[in-house]
Amino acid sequence: MEHVTGISRRGLLAGTAASAALLAAGGADRARAAAAPPVRPSAAAAQTADGFASVSALGQNGTTGGAGGPVVTVTDAETFLDYCDRNEPYVIQVSGTMRISSKQGVRSNKTIVGLGSDAEITGGGLDMYRRQNVIIRNLRFTGAEDDAISIQQSSHHIWIDHCEFSTGADGLIDIVRGADYVTVSWNHFHDHSKTMLIGHSDANGSQDRGALRVSFHHNFFDGTAQRHPRVRFGEPVHVYNNYYRNNTLYGVASTEDAGVLVEGNYFENVAHPIYSGYDESGPGRVVERNNLYVDCGEPETLGTVAEPRTYYAYTLDRPADIPRIVPVGAGVGKI
């Protein structure tokens, strides 16, 4: 894809009106994609972390959560938060609705997994602050007073998988302040504007450069407006095999010299699928390849980006299959 030039930022903006212990997936004529790799079976949800959360780094061999610790089932918020705040490893099974407030801390070496299809955290969110090795799966997050999930202050090896997110007051997922080795996979995002932020602010480069390595794959961005994700400084951020549908402001934004690889995704009715630079933030590097665009504007690209394959192996699904496999596989009740 050639670099899009000759269109100002403001002009563009103006144009946009398992068992618990094992639980540890203008017009059609404008559609285009490079030759795609073979389809792999995606129906069966992975039971171990992939992407950056699978990488051995920072003294942590992949992301295993509470594996090896006691398995407990919680049915009320007080008990739930008590187990989240313990230092020992736990597999915490969530049954029913946990009504919490603000952002509640989760300590290291935890697996938090919803039972069935109706486990929910509402009213508040979960915060990883200088934590590591946490798995969050099969949970519905609604109505958070702040962020639904915050990963910050050099937290690392976090896997967020097969969850559903909507209607928060701020971001649904924020990965900021030197966080690293994170995978966000097979989630359903809807009824929200500011979906996911990587990198705290334009002024936080001293903490964020050399970190913020994140994989996003097989997520369903279902009518959400922006930040799918918005990235500052992180490299590489790997955005692959996601389904973007009716995203009113933009799909992906790479800013402040971030390095983002966008590949094998399906964009449908997204006026600005990829930005380099956004609002007051300077341009970031972004490479796009093997994406499919239907009823979309032109993606912006800039420069080169470090290859995720130097960190981990992965296999792409065909972009044309994404609208079929992602909506049925993403979200709760699928693992």
Separation of alpha carbons 82 and 105, rounded Å: 10
Catalytic member of 107, 213, 227, 245: 227
Measuring CA to CA, which residue among 208, 195, 305 is closest to residue 260? 305
Identity (one letter) of the amino acid at 188?
A: H
| Torsion-angle region of 242 (φ positive above 0: left; ψ -120 to 50: alpha; else: beta) | beta
H helix runs in 51-184, sequence order: 77-84
* 227: annotated active-site residue: yes
Separation of alpha carbons 21 and 19, rounded Å: 6
193 Cβ contact list (under 8 Å, min separation 6): 224, 225, 226, 249
Query: Could you tell me whether strands 71-74 and 164-166 are parallel, antiparallel, or unpaired per DSSP bridges?
Result: unpaired
With beta carbons less than 8 A apart as the criterion, state whether 304 and 289 touch.
no
H helix runs in the chain, sequence order: 9-14, 77-84, 205-208, 322-329
Length of the chain measured in residues: 335
- Annotated catalytic residues are 227
